[in-house]
Amino acid sequence: MMRQDRLVVTGTDTDIGKTVFSAALADAMGALYWKPVQAGIEDGGDSQRIGELSFLSSDQILPERYRLKTPCSPDLAAEIDGISIDYDHLNPPNINGRMIIEGAGGALVPLTKDKVYADLFARWNFPVIIVASTRLGTINHSLLTIEALRNRNVTIHGIAFIGDELPHSEDAICRIGDVNHLGRLPYLTNLTRDNLRDAFRKNFEIDRFISKEEIS
């Protein structure tokens, strides 16, 4: 049975705003945040960024299972660091409460030599949110991500866009990919936790992310 209090956030590419969206969503839901593998810790990593961009307490930001120094795909970062990622034991913390789980880069980023993040999502059996930019190329990247997840029988909760409004691309992705349009977060020139919270509330409906069971 699929757990409805766990949502996984993946992206169509790296550096598209996935962590910013995760921070806003976790904040809006009052959820725990967990990133299984952090590759690249020179700037503190995404967990630190979540703390800066949300009103989550330190207890709500769970420690990563693996913290790797090199900013590249986890499989290569682990090899450089001399660490072996144990894929079979890479499970979310067994803690009650809503949880936002953020992957790294896109759905097909390698975790180990023969496993990618989409394989892990399929094993977890949690609904996945795809974060996509509205820049040029997003239709192709988004539809490929949708296909990769569906080929592994991953349930797609919907797609959230980041950037300027691009009606044709957003409509084409949702229509051809048969996915729910969850909303669009505009670029924020002055990115603060207050501005991010306000922007999320204006552009997303929280009941799109909370199951009927939780509401009742």
Report how far residue 169's alpha carbon sits from residue 143's, in angstroms, rounded to the nearest whole number: 11
Question: Sign of dihedral through CA atoms 110, 123, 96, 127?
Answer: positive
Each residue of 123-181: pLDDT tens digit?
999 999 999 999 999 999 999 999 999 999 999 999 999 999 999 999 999 999 999 99
- For 165, list phi and psi in degrees, rounded to 5: -60, 135
Out of 35, 69, 113, 212, the active site residue is 35
Report how far residue 162's alpha carbon sits from residue 138's, in angstroms, rounded to the nearest whole number: 11
The domains of the chain, with CATH numbers, are 6-196 (3.40.50.300)
The pLDDT value recorded for residue 89 is 87
Of the candidates 37, 12, 14, 32, the one whose C-alpha atom is nearest the C-alpha of residue 22 is 32
- Mark whether 69 is an active-site residue: no
Each residue of 183-193: pLDDT tens digit?
999 999 999 99
Whether 211 has a pLDDT exceeding 80, the answer reads no
CB distance 122 to 150 below 8 Å: no
Each residue of 34-93: pLDDT tens digit?
999 999 887 778 999 999 999 999 999 999 999 999 999 999 999 999 999 999 889 999
3-state SS string for 114-156:
CCEHHHHHHHHCCCEEEEEECCCCHHHHHHHHHHHHHCCCCCE
CA distances from 172 to 28, 81, 139, 159, 178 (A): 28, 42, 7, 12, 9
Better-scored residue on pLDDT, 17 or 211: 17
Beta bridge partners of residue 61, listed in sequence order: 33
How far separated are the first and last CA of the chain, in Å rounded?
A: 19
